[in-house]
Structure 1
């Protein structure tokens, strides 16, 4: 028996842009269905927003996202919390981070450089005690990412 989990991000009007961005960063295809496609009259506000969206990449990356109904604005729905480094520790009020591991430093560096566009770097990508590459950032959509190079078990 096996189980697969997939992160599902809730946005307030930015789901399409976020999904397209993540597809550029990690590769893969974007699939989007809008509220209008599910019966919301096209003339109503938010009808073109994402009711179901996903990115599926050949490398295994997958994320789901949608725009919460009736919520104007951009970025994550609700509060994404705050995360910072302080005296060698990560201090956060965020309820989650998204973690992505790659097989090599070159691979992870590519993801890092792409995700860094418009991001706030919390901890720069560098060697750590447990990985040849580890870093943390909050992307332009308010999602906090932890990227690292996977170490063989």
Structure 2
């Protein structure tokens, strides 16, 4: 079976976003590359060499959350407007920790609570505009 790894694109704050996600999920980045560190076929303005070309953060046994900044000469990214990332924790306590951590500074659209299909389910848009669902 193929594995699915969400890939998020940002205008210029990918490093801030992924440091926030790392503070919630823990772990270490598998990869963190900047445009200025590598020769690339992707053209970018010289003053954007500090931007993130690729970052990868494991957030589960088989899931890697990935992302990058989009160079200013490319189309702007759509942050969280047409999808939600759903995460399925291994315990109710972990669901609460992840929900509280990721929703901090964002907008809760459905508080984490019991539903007819889940012991705990909640939805929010994080402070970076990415839509999440927590389902335990």
- TM-score scaled by structure 2? 0.86
How many pairs are equivalent? 130
In the TM superposition, residue 38 of structure 1 has moved relative to its aligned partner by: 1.7
- RCO greater where, 1 or 2, for CA within 8 Å and sep 6 or more? 2
**Runs of at least 5 residues in structure 1 that lack an aligned partner in the other structure:** 82-94
Of 50, 61, 64, which aligns to 1:62? 64
Does residue 16 in structure 1 map to residue 3 in structure 2? no
Unmatched runs of 5 consecutive residues or more in structure 2: none
- Give the conservation status (yes or no) of the 8 Å contact 1:29–1:57: no
Q: Which has the larger helix fraction?
A: 2
Which protein is richer in strand relative to its size?
A: 1
Determine the structure 2 residue equivalent to 1:91: none
Deviations 1:46-105 (A, max 9, x none): 110001111024654420000011169xxx823533xxxxxxxxxxxxx21000011221
User: Per the alignment, in what secondary structure is the counterpart of residue 45 of structure 1?
Assistant: helix
Cα deviations across residues 82-140 of structure 1 (Å, max 9, x unaligned)? xxxxxxxxxxxxx2100001122111001011112111111111111100100000001
Structure 1 runs of 4+ aligned residues shifted over 6 Å read: none
